[in-house]
């Protein structure tokens, strides 16, 4: 009897230490993981965006191996030979808690080293200083309770200098990941890596290809290409780091599904032990109960900590109301973008709604939608806030069918004229292909949202032929999407690149097709460039688009 109680107490203590411990995240790589957001001339500007603010449930393991409340710069006492700024770690952790507020404390373990010259992947090989330091810190992080949830890896810029290093990168990266998993005792430890946005040499695409083609189980890759860089064209800006942190969090939850912890069997166990009849019952059934309770504890641990499944298919098979977002830069979103940098500000009207508002990414997989929606679509420009998220939030609030997710399909490309959207062209074919993928797992295309025309204000002949080309585009889309009366909600221009704005606006207002609704952006606030809508104006356009479709018969 005493031996049994000791066994149960030991198992419960071990279980509680893991269940109530930290969810540990290892941050490794070089300078862009360490964080240079906001650093100019070796001085950090001290600006911490809302998405990277400290949180009581986000901790950081210091260089002295003690836990403290986490705040940027996370790597200030790790990557000590340079000035650190904002990295992706804090926005990642905040995003994780946004998705799963019940998850409990998150323990960030900074291990990235950029240094003045950066670190190559050979410096991370097994047995080296950086590798051993990571293992030491990981071991210390688990002391006192907790489990390693994932490794976040962002490195490779230094391996773009030498062609041999670039060609060897894929093999060296796979060896590193395999060695880490073995030495951390977790053969399927989730790893989310970042495909580099820049490099120190001319072999950037070779390294990117190696990263994007890594074929290991439970290894995911998010792409930083197109995110805004600092003036050095090497390091990500603060808004880019914020965006990257959210991408990393979303990718992790596509790799790993975390179930709610009910602890029902554990509570049953505790109530049984405390029962006054337990000693008598135990005397006659001791061996059976021992095996039974060991099974309960093992099962609970497996359900909450070991059961790792690929959850990317969950969003793919939700029933969705699908909306196609097409056009040029004001649909792609430039809200908050000044001089090529996005300020990272996200109004409450464009909030993320996990599982409710989804986005079809550039890789044709569904994920929780966040701004900038077009970051991996309109990749040659800096994207900011567009009308899509405000639209989706307004539709979600106004549509009583809350069992259906809103699925956004970004397709807009900045600077594109109406001729570039003609049937058979690259942009048109890309839209049709993405639309077909969007409905594969269940759902229906509810409307096309169209905001374009600024480019066609430059040349008089383009402006004069705009109405005919626009009507032809809408008819072709309806035919190829097999929906003859597919609703199209278009935006009449607020600005243009040339002198023929009013001519294009007149064409937009004069469209003579059923189920085509026009909302007018004229008079809404513009950015200093006099061309792109501000964040506030984009929110207003999104709400106008939502109001138009919710009030029409075409959404019944």
Contact present, 373 and 386 (Cβ < 8 Å):
yes
Token pair for 265: 């069997």
- The per-residue b/e assignment along 415-450, b for 16 or more CB within 10 angstroms, e otherwise, is ebbbeebeeeeebbeebbebbeebeebebebbbbbb
DSSP annotation string for 39-62: EETTEE-----GGG---TTEEEE-
- Separation between Cα atoms, residue 80 and residue 413, nearest integer Å: 41
Our answer to whether residue 75 is catalytic in this structure is no
- The per-residue b/e assignment along 240-254, b for 16 or more CB within 10 angstroms, e otherwise, is bbbbbbbbbbbbbbb
Cα–Cα–Cα angle for 193, 195, 201, rounded to 5 degrees: 130
Position of tokens 């104006």? Answer: 537
Our answer to whether residue 532 is catalytic in this structure is yes
Select which of 329, 416, 495, 534 is catalytic: 329
- Separation between Cα atoms, residue 510 and residue 501, nearest integer Å: 14
Contacts of 312 (CB under 8 A, 6+ apart): 254, 255, 365, 366
Contact present, 459 and 471 (Cβ < 8 Å):
no
Contact present, 352 and 245 (Cβ < 8 Å):
no
Strand ranges across the sheet with 219-223: 67-69, 58-61, 106-110, 22-29, 146-154, 191-195, 219-223
- Separation between Cα atoms, residue 489 and residue 327, nearest integer Å: 12
Contacts of 28 (CB under 8 A, 6+ apart): 111, 112, 124, 134, 151, 152, 153, 154, 155
Select which of 321, 462, 532, 534 is catalytic: 532
Contact present, 379 and 412 (Cβ < 8 Å):
no
Our answer to whether residue 79 is catalytic in this structure is no
Give Dmax (Cα) for the chain.
96
Token pair for 90: 């804090």
Q: What positions carry a catalytic annotation?
A: 329, 529, 532
């Amino acid at each position: 009897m005493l031996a049994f109680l000791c066994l149960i107490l030991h198992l419960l203590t071990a279980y509680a230490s893991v269940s109530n411990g930290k969810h540990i995240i290892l941050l490794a790589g070089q300078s862009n993981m360490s964080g240079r957001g906001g650093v100019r001339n070796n001085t950090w500007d001290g600006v911490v965006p809302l998405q990277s603010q400290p949180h009581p449930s986000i901790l950081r393991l210091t260089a002295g191996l003690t836990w403290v409340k986490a705040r940027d710069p996370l790597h200030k006492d790790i990557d000590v030979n340079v000035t650190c700024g904002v990295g992706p770690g804090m926005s990642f952790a905040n995003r994780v808690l946004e998705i799963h507020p019940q998850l409990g404390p998150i323990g960030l373990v900074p291990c990235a080293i950029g240094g003045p010259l950066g670190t190559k992947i050979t410096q991370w090989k097994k047995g080296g200083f950086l590798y051993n330091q990571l293992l030491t810190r990981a071991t210390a992080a688990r002391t006192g309770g907790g489990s390693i949830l994932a490794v976040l890896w962002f490195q490779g810029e230094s391996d773009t200098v030498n062609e041999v290093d670039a060609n060897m990168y894929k093999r060296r990266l796979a060896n590193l990941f395999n060695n880490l998993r073995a030495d951390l005792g977790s053969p399927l430890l989730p790893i989310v890596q970042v495909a580099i946005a820049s490099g120190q040499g001319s072999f950037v695409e070779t390294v990117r290809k190696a990263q994007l083609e890594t074929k290991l189980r439970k290894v995911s890759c998010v792409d930083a290409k197109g995110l805004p860089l600092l003036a050095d064209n090497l390091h990500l800006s603060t808004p880019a780091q914020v965006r990257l942190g959210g991408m990393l969090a979303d990718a992790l939850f596509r790799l790993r599904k975390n179930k709610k912890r009910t602890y029902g069997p554990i509570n049953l166990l505790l109530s049984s032990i405390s029962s006054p009849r337990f000693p008598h019952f135990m005397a006659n059934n001791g061996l059976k109960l021992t095996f039974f309770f060991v099974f309960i504890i093992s099962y609970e641990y497996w359900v909450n900590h070991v059961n790792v499944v690929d959850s990317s298919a969950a969003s793919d098979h939700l029933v969705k109301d699908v909306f196609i977002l097409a056009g040029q830069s004001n649909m792609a979103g430039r809200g908050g973008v000044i001089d090529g940098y996005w300020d990272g500000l996200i109004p409450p009207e464009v909030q993320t709604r996990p599982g409710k508002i989804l986005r079809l990414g550039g890789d044709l997989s569904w994920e929780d939608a966040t701004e900038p929606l077009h970051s991996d679509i309109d990749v040659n420009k800096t994207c900011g806030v567009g009308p899509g998220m405000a639209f989706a939030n307004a539709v979600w609030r106004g549509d009583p069918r809350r069992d259906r997710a809103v699925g956004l399909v970004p397709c807009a490309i900045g600077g594109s004229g109406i001729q570039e959207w003609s049937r058979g062209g690259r942009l048109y074919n890309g839209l049709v292909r993405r639309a077909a993928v969007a409905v594969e797992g269940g759902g229906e295309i509810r409307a096309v949202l169209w905001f374009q025309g600024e480019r066609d204000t430059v040349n008089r002949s383009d402006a004069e032929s705009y109405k005919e080309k626009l009507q032809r585009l809408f008819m072709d889309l309806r035919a190829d999407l097999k929906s003859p009366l597919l609703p199209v909600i278009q935006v009449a221009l607020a600005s243009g690149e040339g002198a023929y704005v009013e001519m294009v606006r007149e064409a937009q207002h004069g469209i003579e097709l059923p189920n085509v609704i026009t909302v007018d952006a004229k008079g809404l606030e513009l950015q200093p460039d006099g061309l792109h809508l501000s964040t506030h104006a984009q929110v207003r356009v999104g709400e106008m688009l939502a109001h138009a479709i919710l009030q029409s018969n075409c959404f019944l």
